[in-house]
Chain A
Amino acid sequence: MSDVCIVGAGIHPFGRTEGRDGMDQGVYAVRQALADTGIAWEDVEFAFGGSAASGAADTMVSKLGLTGIQFINVSNGCATGGSALNAAASAIKSGEYEIGMAVGFDKHPRGAFNADPGAYGLPNWYGEAGYMLTTQFFGAKIMRYLHENDLSREALGRVSEKAFRNGAKTDHAWRRSEVDLETIMNAPMISDPLNKYMFCSPAEGAVALILASEKKAKELGGPMIRLKTSVMRTRPPGSFEVFAASIDNERGGTATEIAAKAAFEQAGMGPEDIDVAQLQDTESGAEIMHMAENGFCPHGDQEKWLIEGRTEINGALPVNTDGGCLACGEPIGASGLRQVYENVVQLRGTAGERQVPGDPKTAYTQVYGAPGVSAVTILQR
């Protein structure tokens, strides 16, 4: 089977862009990706795309050009971008197409995501009594994790400190200023043990990636960035997910563990082979849990890793080199593709100030979200 290559990448800066809706940010990212690839929109054979709050992706053909292409909308919550990429890769692997696109974009209002209990199969009292907040879930989950693994709250602060340090070096990031650990630790609490510097915010942004068969990629002549695997998985029994009025006493695994295992098997490599990783950091605790769930370190070793700087840009395994969701914010439809975009830039060696040293060859992404979905990719140059 032919490898799938990522031959072009485009991004609309994350954060807040007044006067430009989510869809137009998507179009901006697509045009940039086309220019990066050196092709025209007419050359794109198919597309998968999605947003959570900014409309149906296929309608962007009215801006890009009515070429009649197959354009399938993807709606998969926080895994929307990952699922679009997954589907696009499958379409090329099948041999049906030579070149296509995955695009994700979004624009969310300020403040925590608002949710309707009924949409989650929950009674109205659940919302009225004050449980319908994603922030509570993240707080309760990491509170237990810190307790079980004997990690301190300061580990959460170290993740944020690194995110803002990396974000300050990243053109597409939203938060571009460093924040010191003391300031982070003393900030107002949102949902214990997480405070305001430890949560990402709903935001805006868009990413488009152009994928091609190995043959087509060679013709195009750019660096060969191979998508070794793209895996999306849903939760196993006993996982701990958002908006749960009850959870089982008997605890189980996570969607991320399943996705990571499958991805490493498919790519024929292990965590020790990865040179740079972008891990879902909806809040600082998520990065800590995901370091272990993806197999990069044993549960409980994360604080030591952070203190030793092992996940810094110049560390043994750089994590979230563009500042992740903490520095970029989270436009749901675009977030997973931003991770892949960042890895493409890192593998090409064009990340400038935030470039991982030592000529990285392998790069890993993992996105996680409601209601217990996880998507992993591994790229190789």
Chain B
Amino acid sequence: MNAQPIADNLFTDDNMTALVGARNKQTGHISFPLPLTPNDDIEPIALASRGTVWTYTVQRFPPKTPYAGPADPENFKPYIVAYVSLPGQTMVESRLTGVEPEDVKIGMEVELTAIPLDPDAPASEQKMIHAFQPV
């Protein structure tokens, strides 16, 4: 079995090519992710896979639960958390991958990918999360 997305309804499909956003049918307002409980006013929408970094930070210490990634203080690798502006839609909170913290620039162009939450887990157990990488 291939690596699976960490949750249903996060990506549009198992190839993880787009994130699922929530579009309000009355107002057209788009947000992410889908609400926890179904809502007649909300329809799923595929979010753009390219955008620009609006802001970011770096998670420098291992988070406590409910974090389910590698949290061993000795080997913890800091990760980048950004808000990526998808034109005409919304800004999505996302990991950045393929770039070091010191090289991140506000305004840089990025595209959607999926990364394993724990790269050291066996392939069959890997949970994939969304991330954006420099174009």
Chains A and B form a bound pair: yes
Identify the A interface with B (CB < 8 A): 111-112, 114, 116-118, 121-133, 136, 139-141, 143-144, 147, 188-193, 244-249
Residues of B close to A192: CB separation below 8 A = 56-58, 60, 101
Best-buried of A125, A144, A147 by chain B (most CB within 10 Å): A125
Q: How far is the CA of A324 from the CA of B101 in the complex (A)?
A: 30
One of A143, A188, A189, A246 near B56 (C-beta < 8 A):
A143
- If A118-B36, A133-B59 touch, whether A246 touches B31 (CB-CB below 8 Å) is yes
Q: How far is the CA of A147 from the CA of B63 in the complex (A)?
A: 26
One of B6, B68, B90 near A249 (C-beta < 8 A):
B90
Tell yes or no: B83 within 8 A of A by CB.
yes
A136 adjacent to B81 (CB under 8 Å): yes
Q: B55 to chain A: closest CB distance in Å?
A: 4
Interface residues of B in 51-101 (CB under 8 A from A): 54-61, 63-69, 79, 81-83, 85-93, 95, 101
Interface residues of B in 29-49 (CB under 8 A from A): 29, 31-33, 35-36
A121 adjacent to B35 (CB under 8 Å): yes
A130 adjacent to B63 (CB under 8 Å): yes
Q: B41 to chain A: closest CB distance in Å?
A: 15
Best-buried of B10, B63, B92 by chain A (most CB within 10 Å): B63
Q: B75 to chain A: closest CB distance in Å?
A: 15
A143 adjacent to B68 (CB under 8 Å): no
A133 adjacent to B90 (CB under 8 Å): no
Lowest 8 CB-CB distances: which A-B pairs, in order? Answer: A139-B57, A127-B66, A144-B55, A246-B32, A128-B68, A125-B7, A192-B58, A140-B57
A244 adjacent to B93 (CB under 8 Å): yes
Chain B interface size, under 10 / 10 to 19 / 20 to 34 / 35 or more: 35 or more
B54's closest neighbor in chain A, by CB? A144
One of A116, A129, A133, A139 near B95 (C-beta < 8 A):
A129
Q: How far is the CA of A128 from the CA of B10 in the complex (A)?
A: 13
- If A130-B59, A189-B58 touch, whether A125 touches B91 (CB-CB below 8 Å) is no
Contact flags B13-37 to A (C-beta < 8 A → 1, else 0) = 0000000010000000101110110
Tell yes or no: B3 within 8 A of A by CB.
no
Q: B49 to chain A: closest CB distance in Å?
A: 15
A245 adjacent to B32 (CB under 8 Å): yes
A133 adjacent to B63 (CB under 8 Å): yes
Tell yes or no: B135 within 8 A of A by CB.
no
Residues of A close to B31: CB separation below 8 A = 245-246, 248
One of A121, A124, A139 near B58 (C-beta < 8 A):
A139
A116's closest neighbor in chain B, by CB? B66
Q: How far is the CA of A112 from the CA of B88 in the complex (A)?
A: 35
One of B58, B81, B101, B127 near A131 (C-beta < 8 A):
B81
Q: List 14 A-B contacts (CB under 8 A).
A: A117-B66, A123-B10, A123-B36, A125-B7, A126-B33, A130-B63, A131-B93, A140-B57, A191-B59, A245-B93, A249-B85, A249-B86, A249-B87, A249-B90
One of A112, A147, A246 near B91 (C-beta < 8 A):
A246
Q: A282 to chain B: closest CB distance in Å?
A: 15
Tell yes or no: B129 within 8 A of A by CB.
yes
Residues of A close to B60: CB separation below 8 A = 188-192
A144 adjacent to B35 (CB under 8 Å): no
Residues of A close to B85: CB separation below 8 A = 249
Q: How far is the CA of A127 from the CA of B86 in the complex (A)?
A: 23
Best-buried of A126, A147, A190, A247 by chain B (most CB within 10 Å): A247
